[in-house]
Amino acid sequence: MYSSNLKGFILAMVSSAFIGSSFIIKKKGLRKAGVNGPRASSGGYGYLLEPLWWVGMLTMIIGEIANFVAYIYAPAVLVTPLGALSIIVSAVLAHFMLKEKLQKMGMLGCLLCIVGSTVIVLHAPEERSISSIEEIWELATQPAFLLYTASAVATALVLIFYCAPRYGQTNIMVYIGICSVIGSLTVMSIKAIGIAIKLTLEGTNQAKYFQTWIFAMVAITCIITQLNYLNMTRRTFIDPLMETSPIDSVSSSMDPP
């Protein structure tokens, strides 16, 4: 494995461990808060006063930071799928700490995650050397990617304005679909920002390029949208964690072709 890929791999693994653990910690915080007030699924916000929930949130933030840095060192095709390993962490911890029994099909799913991640890691390409954010912009404005972006945005708008009002409260895949489609754009914009930061730290200031700020605005918009609908998912379909945790991981791990 290339040295830069190894750094990204380690950071992605650390990220998965923290994020997977955060699901369990936040779930325990939600349960504890639900004893003394309205549950989050009923519109209650008592969990915001629960220290355990904030510990889980801090754990997730640390994991996301590690994931962000991983994109600086390794290609997205390596880092993004490794995020699915948080499924295994959360599933195992939920089995022992929350007494949510892991079924045979769940065990098979965890095994497939391990096998798939191993194959990807072994065959991941070396990170392409990029000297300017303008190179990423040139790739992002190619017809094929623009077509994908337009399709993703159109799909997200249909889900948000047509499907969500009608089916969002009864079908978990509506909110998750929004997060997944938007998440694919988040990955690419975060990757661009990570490279810009890396180049800037190496002495080549990328803040002077307008493309850097466009990628930043896209990333912020996509992240806010994802967080909004992930929170709506958790509030509407809070139980069981074994259902929402893997879907959360998938929604944040999609990457465009």
Nearest to 83 by CA among 218, 214, 200, 184: 184
Specify the pLDDT at position 242.
41
Q: How confident is the model at residue 138, as a pLDDT?
A: 92
pLDDT in tens, 88-142: 888 888 888 888 777 888 788 888 888 887 887 777 777 677 888 999 899 899 9
What are the tens digits of pLDDT across the range 185-199? 988 898 899 889 888
| DSSP state letter for 170 | T
Q: According to the model, what pLDDT value does residue 254 have?
A: 41
**What is the predicted pLDDT for the residue at 247?**
45
pTM over 0.75: no
143 CA to centre of own chain: 26
Rounded Cα gap, residues 175 and 186, in angstroms: 16
Residue ranges of domains in the chain: 1-128, 130-257
In b/e form, how buried is each residue of 127-139, taking b as 16+ CB within 10 angstroms? beeeebbeebbee
Please give the Cα distance from 124 to 76 (Å, whole number): 9
Instruction: Look at residue 58 in the predicted model and tell me its pLDDT.
Output: 93
Name the token pair of 104. Answer: 């045979």
Tell the residue number behind the tokens 């992240």, with chain if given.
223
pLDDT along the chain (257 residues), means of 10: 78 91 85 66 65 89 89 81 83 83 81 83 74 89 94 95 90 89 88 89 89 94 87 66 45 42
